[in-house]
Structure 1
Amino acid sequence: MNIITQEAKKKQAIVKYALRKGKSEASRVYGVSLSSVKRWCKQYDGTWQSLLPKSRRPHSHPNRHTKREERQIRNSFKKCYERYGWDGVYSDLKRKGYTRSYSGMIYAAKRMGLVKYKKTKKKSRNHRRYPELLIPGEKVQIDVKEVPYNCLRGKALRDGKHFYQWTAIDECTRMRFVYGFEEHTPENSTKFLKMLLKEFPFKIKRFKQITEESSHINIKAVK
């Protein structure tokens, strides 16, 4: 129950009490003005819906588009919208002596039902971009990155060597295996895969190889 409905039902209780005990007594007991109680009693028809607040929006406005201007907008819309859009519609209206602003034209077109909004479909919370993997080893992701120079320590830092880190992650269990080599070569990729097959406790079915250098390696050839 929203707050508007609650207020209407509260007014209904006040009106019922006023009909039994009197309007002045209802005003005193519920702490509302006597004029409000009288107005609600006059408005009440036996249902709480009759006590809902009425819209205070004016029915007309002195600056509203005239029937002639609305007819001009509709004709220009049929003539130009499909090819030129609303800019073309407004240009055509200006040539015919239309004096309103662009935003005023759009507001009038909305009221006339010419502007239609497309409803956007809400994405389901269960929607997944990639299917969830439930079997260990179904897909193992492999990546190779160069170790940053400022991360090197000791002898490697003094000799100015480069190190490359091979990383393998199982997309189901998130189990990870990491090893480093001094050179980034296909031979080292093959060595890494052989070590990986020994370290992982489950059978690997498929590799998802990110780097182009290791993309030619076949798991059957490694075995």
Structure 2
Amino acid sequence: IADSDDELVPETFEVFMKTWNDIPVEKRINYCGVAACCRDQFGKRISDQVPGGVFDGGFRELFYKYKFRKEVFMINKTAMMREFPFPEHIRNVLVPEALTWRIMTDKYKLRFINDEMRTYYIDEPNSLSAIKRRSPHSKALSSCLESGNVLNNDLRYFIFSPLYFFRMALVYQSFRPFLNNQERKWVFLKPFAKTFAFPFIFAGWAYSRIMMSRFQKKSGV
């Protein structure tokens, strides 16, 4: 998966094909694809190091147990993309791709390699990173979808990254006030996740006011 503001190194597909062929034929049915690392337009690596140089597993384990939390570039089997399509009922908002990748790699393994195959352009005017400059309202749904998904499905990894889960609870409570009625139907917490996030309601509400104030100052509203 690549965006319009990305660039692939010339040998990308050759490396991916070799990596895929290194997986024994009889085991490939258990794999969804191959993932590699990234660098920026100045040649600086922006991905974390893949443990052991090659890692077979899923995003949740790699993220929480091995602290691999930065950009990757991946190629998945067509059958996997059909089995795990991006949500189409949520329109006009950037739904985090990570939601789909986590579910996919819960069922199938992904082979991660340390090679840097994608050039990821940062701080460019047309980069998708410009999303950070949008209003809290426009970021609310995607932020709540991602943080809500983490709280609903990943709390079993709490012991590995407690501060991360506290931050996700704060993010959820901070952006939830900006959701409209329709968006709130798409975002919900399971009972245990709701209990976990409850203590952050006041802090989230306070931070939502701060975010709105900062945005209004920057935009001259």
TM-score in terms of structure 2 length: 0.17
Pick the structure with more strand per residue. Answer: 2
Higher Rg of the two aligned structures: 1
Which is bigger in relative contact order (C-alpha 8 A, separation at least 6)? Answer: 2
TM-score in terms of structure 1 length: 0.16
